[in-house]
Copies of this chain bind each other. A is one copy, B any other.
């Protein structure tokens, strides 16, 4: 059955960020719609951000396109060019390899609901311009590193 039973999916929280980088995303929960539907080539998450929470630390991907589409509430997109408020029906796209660190922050007092889509590339590198953190995915698996690429 191709229909995804969204109501039956759990909202899952938590983060694989090493400390002290987890608190920023504590109010982020997701339903993994693409995984539930058996998709392997890209992920589709239905994501809810509580007030004060962010989607991620500001980052960009070397090899993975990303896209967000806002369904409910208002959220601030932060990127190299500054801040932009996105509301329902607004979208943003982040092309792989474009060195523009971005994330979404909920600076309001209501939850925000959005779809986030990202390619699942076999090899990738994530750059976090504001903090001493990096991300690598290769034949050794996915892992966080220091910003230099050194192991944590």
**A interface, CB within 8 angstroms of B:** 1-4, 6, 33-34, 36-42, 44, 64-65, 67, 69, 77, 79, 81, 84, 86, 89-96, 98, 100, 102, 115, 117, 119, 121
Inter-chain CA distance A55–B90, complex, in Å, is: 23
Q: Are B39 and A4 in contact (CB under 8 A)?
A: no
Q: Which residues of B contact A96 (CB under 8 A)?
A: 40-41
In the complex, residue of chain B having the shortest beta-carbon distance to the beta carbon of A115:
B69
In the complex, residue of chain B having the shortest beta-carbon distance to the beta carbon of A95:
B38
A23 to chain B, nearest CB (A): 25
In the complex, residue of chain B having the shortest beta-carbon distance to the beta carbon of A88:
B71
Question: Known contacts being A42-B42, A44-B117, A69-B115, is A37 close to B89, with CB within 8 Å?
Answer: no
